[in-house]
Every structure is written in structure tokens, then in C-alpha cells.
Amino acid sequence: MNTSADKKLALFDLDGTLFDTNEVNYRAYQKALAHFGFKFEHDYWYQNCIGRHYKDFLADIGITDEKILKEIHQRKKHCYREFLPYAKENHHLFEIIALIKPCYHVALVTTASKQNVEDILRTFKRTETFDKIFTQEDVSKMKPDPECYLKAMNYFKAEPANTIIFEDSEAGLLAAKLSGAFYYKVFKFNDNH
């Protein structure tokens, strides 16, 4: 068995990679937006919002006021837990994590909020799976900026050549590429809605 210093690093995105949370996020945003009188269509979410930061896709529907954006996001985080029964776990990827843990440090790296990450990991009893969790509160720049992945590599003192990243979205894949690490695209896990 490898010592801690010999271990490599495996980094996993949350939404669309470890869990299919598209319906959870859609319903949580739909409920949060309804409070402010906005209608949020199902098709619009699936065609324009997945993998994007909330400020970007909400700006597309005309919401740019920082105070309202913050309130919508807070409401969404509170609504998220209510819709977790719609989430689906990527069982195969969690089995891979269990297999590689003796040789790899394993971290969750996501631009999701810490509150939503804790909610889903607790619901699926996966809280103890990761050696470290990095959320949107830990970075100043969102994907496709590689800051989140570089921060994780720095934390574990891992070189890009000894790091693998699992991602699904275009923004996440670009962030992984820009980090210099090896990266793998998770296909077909959340294609069906």
C-alpha cells in the first residue's frame, strides 16, 4: 500500500458527474424564481443553464441586480433539499472511488454551494467518501477558470501529472484542461431527462 506522500490525486465534480442533479437544481431555481415573479421553463434549463454559473444564466433572462441575484441564490439553496428525491447517484463512479482510494487522495471539487453539497452527500450517505471538499465558497473564480482544481492540487501538493479529474460540463472540462491535469469526461450519466 502506498504511503500518503506516494498517493496520486483524483478530483471529482459533483453535478452531472457524481450525481445527476439537473431536476433538483431546475426545481429549486424554479421555486426560488417564482417568488420574484419569474417563470422558469423546463426546456430552457436543460438547453441553456446546465454547467453554467447561476449569475450567467439568470442574466440571460434579465436578472442582473446583485441584491436580487443573491436572494434568488439563497432561496434556491434552501429549496434544494426539498427536491433531493429527484437526484440520481452515479454508482459506477463511486465504485471506482472505492477502488482507487488506497492509491489516490480523493477530493470533491464543485462550484455548487457548500450547503447544497452537504445536503446531497448526507442524503446519499457519502459524507465520508472524500478526503477534502472544495465548494464555490472556496474560490473567487468559477469554472472554466481552473482555480478550483489548482487549489485542490496545491492543497494535496500534487503535480498535474499525478492528478486525474472527472468532469461532465464544457466549463468544467475546460477548467480541467487548463489545470494541466489528466481529465476524463463523464458521458451518458445525465443525458436523459
Average pLDDT over residues 29-55: 91
User: At 105, which helix (H) or strand (E)?
Assistant: strand 104-109
Per-residue 3-state assignment (H helix, E strand, C coil) for 47-73: HHCCCCCHHHHHHHCCCCCHHHHHHHH
Band (6; pLDDT cuts 50, 70, 90): confident
118 CB-contact burial (10 Å; exposed 0-12 / middle 13-18 / buried 19+): middle
Tell how far CA 140 is from the center of its chain. Answer: 15
Average pLDDT over residues 50-64: 90
Q: Taking 90 as the threshold, does the pLDDT of residue 88 lie above it?
A: yes
Band (52; pLDDT cuts 50, 70, 90): confident
The dotted CATH code for 4-20+88-185 is 3.40.50.1000
Domain ranges within the chain, ordered by starting residue: 4-20+88-185, 22-85
Percent of the chain with pLDDT over 70: 95
Q: What is the pLDDT of residues 15-37, one digit of tens each?
A: 999 999 999 999 999 999 999 99
Q: What is the pLDDT of residues 112-148, one digit of tens each?
A: 999 999 999 999 999 999 999 999 999 999 999 999 9
Q: Taking 80 as the threshold, does the pLDDT of residue 192 lie above it?
A: no
Q: Taking 70 as the threshold, does the pLDDT of residue 41 lie above it?
A: yes
pTM score of the predicted model: 0.89
pLDDT value of residue 118: 97
Pairing of strands 163-167, 8-12: parallel
Band (172; pLDDT cuts 50, 70, 90): very high
